[in-house]
Amino acid sequence: MLTPAAAFAANSDSWTGNGDGSHWTDADNWSSGVPQNGDSVTIAPTMSTSAPHVTNMPGGLSLQDLTLTNSSLDGGAVTIKGDFIWSVAGHDTSFLKAELTVQGSATLSGAGLKDTNAPLTFKGDTQVSGGLVLVEDTGDAITNTGTFTLKGTGSFTGSGRFAWTGGAIEGNLDVAKTVSTAISGKGLKSLTSVTSKPVLLSLHGATKLTGPAQVNVGIANITNSGTFTESSGALLQGGTCCVSPARFLNSGKLVSATWANLGTMTLRSGTFIEALTCCVAPDHFANGGTLVVAASPKNTGITNLAFANTGQVKLVSGTFTVSGTGYHQAKSGVLAVTATGTKAGKNYGQLIVDGHAALAGKISVTTGGSFKPKAGQTLAVLSYRTRTRKFTATAGKVKFKVIYNAAGATIRFS
């Protein structure tokens, strides 16, 4: 007589395809019969099939482990209590059309394309390396509630939603325009490189960073070409002391309650940072790094945010408009002008303060190209409605003075 433990012992079931070659429920397709609750399942190429496609997996199963190697799987919602391994090699494509909840660890690897048409939820340690992950679901296509680590290069394309609630991204990740990204929760989230070469997170769709979520950006660059919305209580913190800073390049739209730039952030033509409300704390933009304005031929700007500059604002081209509660530059702050001529917006950038400008710190001028300013030539770099104080110092290899009036400040070369 079998003991209860032996009677319900878990099996290790491997796909053979010796039955009809496709259906999960055909016992002849498996080495030990149709997999049951608690079994560990492996689906991999066989002598007769280089890329198995298993269909009709029953919903409600609770498997111990699931391994897919160059294989596709269709069926109902299944829970994986242990390990989930999905590997696709070379230029191959594998499809996963079954909702999976992985409670243990998950490993997605290989250079091949991984196409998910049903939600995947990762609750444990998840490692993603190499290849592509294609999401094509209208809901939460990929949700991470554990530790999510991406190494190498990957991308999310198709349509759906990537939910990031914890873990590290340590490789290049490209999120398509049709995929929305939700960053939330108290879990530690970091974006960095394990080498000295920065990784790149490219966001092309709608991204929401919701409090109290915090993302620590180390040796990494972020580019946004979609709409990036940050709500109150959330923090995107970049750069660290004494090393090359992180970099945020925006060519889309930023909607924010609070922003802190401690690295290098570049605003391109036609891009804006907008707060959710006007004139209510804590809506502010704190620049302690380098904010590069390269906005020609269109404009860029900040709306409904008090702008505090303790770092450097670098005006290269275009018009940078600050509207809300004004522009405040501390003693440590620098307004840096790069000029290749005297045509405003094209040869140098302008700071337009639609409000009050409280000045301190330095203003510097650097010339580029073949531009050699002559005495008396001017650059209208700053305008404001009202002003207190002046820049306390000038810097640069060219000689100039700052001329103030009721509406703005002009650089006059001498």
Q: What is the pLDDT of residues 50-64, one digit of tens each?
A: 999 999 999 999 999
Amino acid present at 306: A
| 274 confidence band (pLDDT: 50, 70, 90) | confident
| 2 confidence band (pLDDT: 50, 70, 90) | very low
What contacts 250, CB < 8 A, 6 or more positions away?
223, 224, 228, 265, 266, 267, 268, 271, 273
Identify whether the C-beta of residue 371 lies closer than 8 Å to the C-beta of residue 346. Answer: no
Alpha-carbon span 350 to 376, nearest angstrom: 19
Give me the residue label for tokens 């992985």: 102
> Cβ atoms within 10 A of the Cβ of 296, count?
18
Alpha-carbon span 276 to 256, nearest angstrom: 6
* Whether pLDDT at 277 is above 70: no
The DSSP H or E segment spanning 107 is: strand 106-109
Which token pair is 308? 């505090």
198-234 pLDDT tens trace = 888 889 988 988 878 888 888 888 888 888 887 767 7
| 271 confidence band (pLDDT: 50, 70, 90) | confident
Alpha-carbon span 291 to 392, nearest angstrom: 20
Which token pair is 273? 């940072």
Alpha-carbon span 184 to 161, nearest angstrom: 13
Question: Which residues of 198-283 form beta strands (DSSP E)?
Answer: 199-203, 206-209, 214-217, 220-224, 227-230, 235-238, 247-250, 253-256, 258-261, 264-268, 272-275
pLDDT given at position 279: 44
Classified as helix, coil or strand, 264 is strand
Query: Which of residues 394 and 285 earns the better pLDDT score?
Result: 394
What contacts 6, CB < 8 A, 6 or more positions away?
none
In whole angstroms, what separates CA 248 from the centre of its chain? 9
Classified as helix, coil or strand, 51 is coil
Question: What is the signed CA dihedral for 317, 322, 327, 329, rounded to 10 degrees?
Answer: -30
Which token pair is 289? 């790094």
What mean pLDDT, rounded, does the chain reach? 85
